[in-house]
Structure 1
Amino acid sequence: MYMQAVIKKQGNGIIARFERLLNHSVEKVWSALTENDKVEKWMSNLEMKDLRKDGTIKFNFNDGSGESFDMKIRDFRESAVLDFDWGDGWVRFEVSPEKDGCSLVLKESITPVNDHTSKDLAGWHVCLDMLSDLLNGHHQDFPMDEWEKWHKEYTAAIERLDG
């Protein structure tokens, strides 16, 4: 349905850039990114706690353990930018108006690249598809078969970078 992320090497890591053109207003997309009742439908691990620069997003393991950890918000601009720590890297959402809706760009910095990298990229890819579906009025549980497909694609893409 959507193009694979564009992946570029940066130091001993990578920056991946996912882009989605959505036929929805900035306001509608922003609320899907930041309101917990919507976020849980496309990325159930994330919980928005304190939405501001230097605020907090909570990552819940959702494995029955009740365990979680806090991630610091590095940059925040209402209806435009949400950027937060993600492991040793970061994740940045940028929302901007377009003629027929808006563009959603997700950038992820991953350092170092390891066996988990392609899993992470496939996860974000599928979560963005789920976000798009949610905006279009559909909700589905996490589709493991789609994730498997994208995991293979991203594994190959990362191997090509080292080629």
Structure 2
Amino acid sequence: MLASLYKNNHGTIAEYKRIFSSSPAEVWNVLTNNENLKLWMDHLEITDLRKGGNIQFHFHDDLGTVEEITITDFEEGRVLEFEWGKDFVRFEIRPEEEGTQLLLKQVLTEITDHTPKDLAGWHVCLFHFADVVNNEKNHYPENEWEKWYEKYREIMK
């Protein structure tokens, strides 16, 4: 399912909704436990999990480049929001009748040629996230994002 796009007074919002049969605590653990985090987004490492805390983005380059990202909103077990360049990424965990809803929102302050690639990247990360939550091991092609990039490029027109 593609992200929904809509505008508000902060810019354009890309919103991804995923439902899991797992408990909110299990989904939160996949989101915030570094051992699980590296299984679905190996560039990120949470170093200080609190509002005003930090996440490191590891570029995995030959120089060992790391960028510090600030956590801008946090509610234990419910909300994790952080800077993403000029944008913000927000994860919300909501109990559902038979499981948990994960809501990922990216606040896009500016639409650029790179935006569809960013959206495709989150789309594929959520495939891996689901694998970790569901204890599955699906194999996605390395270029899986390219298929989604084309779809996001179309809806961004």
What's the counterpart of residue 117 of structure 2? Answer: 119
Is the contact made by 2:94 and 2:101 (CA closer than 8 Å) also made in structure 1?
Answer: yes
Is the contact made by 1:12 and 1:113 (CA closer than 8 Å) also made in structure 2?
Answer: no
Residue 156 of structure 2 aligns to a residue whose secondary structure is: helix
What's the counterpart of residue 95 of structure 1? Answer: 93
Normalized against structure 1, the TM-score is what? 0.90
Residue 39 of structure 2 aligns to a residue whose secondary structure is: coil
Aligned length: 157
What's the counterpart of residue 51 of structure 2? Answer: 53
The CA deviation at 1:10 is 4.4
Residue 40 of structure 2 aligns to a residue whose secondary structure is: coil
Separation in 2 of the partners of 1:62 and 1:140? 23
Percent of matched pairs sharing the same residue: 44
Structure 1 residue runs of 5 or longer lacking an equivalent are: none
The CA deviation at 1:148 is 1.0
The CA deviation at 1:14 is 1.7
| Residue type at the aligned position of 1:4 | L
The CA deviation at 1:70 is 0.6
What's the counterpart of residue 74 of structure 1? Answer: 72
Is the contact made by 1:133 and 1:139 (CA closer than 8 Å) also made in structure 2?
Answer: yes
**Residue 68 to residue 29, structure 1, CA distance change in 2 (3 Å):** same
Is the contact made by 2:51 and 2:71 (CA closer than 8 Å) also made in structure 1?
Answer: yes
Q: Does 2:20 match 1:22?
A: yes
| Residue type at the aligned position of 2:37 | V
**Residue 28 to residue 12, structure 1, CA distance change in 2 (3 Å):** closer
Separation in 2 of the partners of 1:97 and 1:90? 23
Normalized against structure 2, the TM-score is what? 0.94
Tell me whether 137-146 or 103-112 shows the greater mean CA deviation. 137-146
CA RMSD, 1 decimal: 1.6
| Residue type at the aligned position of 2:72 | R
Separation in 1 of the partners of 2:138 and 2:114? 24
The CA deviation at 1:110 is 1.5
What's the counterpart of residue 30 of structure 2? Answer: 32
Is the contact made by 1:122 and 1:150 (CA closer than 8 Å) also made in structure 2?
Answer: yes
Is the contact made by 2:10 and 2:107 (CA closer than 8 Å) also made in structure 1?
Answer: no
Is the contact made by 1:41 and 1:139 (CA closer than 8 Å) also made in structure 2?
Answer: no
Write out the 4+ residue segments of structure 1 that deviate beyond 4 Å after TM superposition. 10-13
**Residue 10 to residue 144, structure 1, CA distance change in 2 (3 Å):** farther
Q: Deviations over 1:68-107 (max 9, x none)?
A: 1111111100100000111101000000111111000000
